[in-house]
Structure formats: structure tokens, C-alpha cells
Amino acid sequence: MTISFNEISAGVRIPLTHIEIDNSQAVTGTPTTLTQVLMLGQAAIKDGKVDGSGAVDTPVRITRADHAATLWGQGSMLAAMVREFLTDNPDAVLT
């Protein structure tokens, strides 16, 4: 079995311990932590119904601020909260 090295030459004949670490296949940087957030708030109500296509008491995964405005109304508390949250935390999973 042949072991090849990148930095230690094959011509080294000095009887010492030679160590080479190859991190070319290692993960670079710190892995990101997946953050999951459950956000509760008020929807805009019009004529006793949600002013949007969303439903009350039903969790929905949100990835864009305009999606929250479509679900719970343009001026709703939830739309404003989602917009501010996603501005600061674009990689978080928001439900």
C-alpha cells in the first residue's frame, strides 16, 4: 500500500516523525445553525374574516415578507413583524 504526501517529499531519509495534515476535504468555516421561530400575532380582520388568504390558528412557513402580507393583510401586525424579522434573520425558518 502506497501512501502519498503533498508536502513531505519521497526523498526524505532522516529517521524522524514526519506529520502532514491534509484538510482539503474538510468543511470550511463554522456550520450555520438552523434557527426555527414560531411567530404569533394579529391578522388584519375585515367583515369578521382575515383580510387575506391565510387562516387563523394555522401555522404556515414564511420565506418572504410579502407572503405574510398576502396571508394576513397588508397592514397587519404579523406582516410588520415578519418584515422586520426577515430583514435581520434572512436564513431563519419562520412558521
Which 3 state secondary structure label does DSSP give 46? strand
DSSP type of residue 57 = T
Which residues does 52 contact at the CB level (< 8 Å), separation at least 6?
Answer: 43, 44, 69, 70, 71, 72, 73, 76
pLDDT digits 0-9 by tens, 12-45: 778 888 788 877 777 777 777 777 899 999 999 9
Whole-prediction pTM value? 0.62
Per DSSP (E only), the strands in 1-95 are 36-37, 45-46, 49-50, 93-94
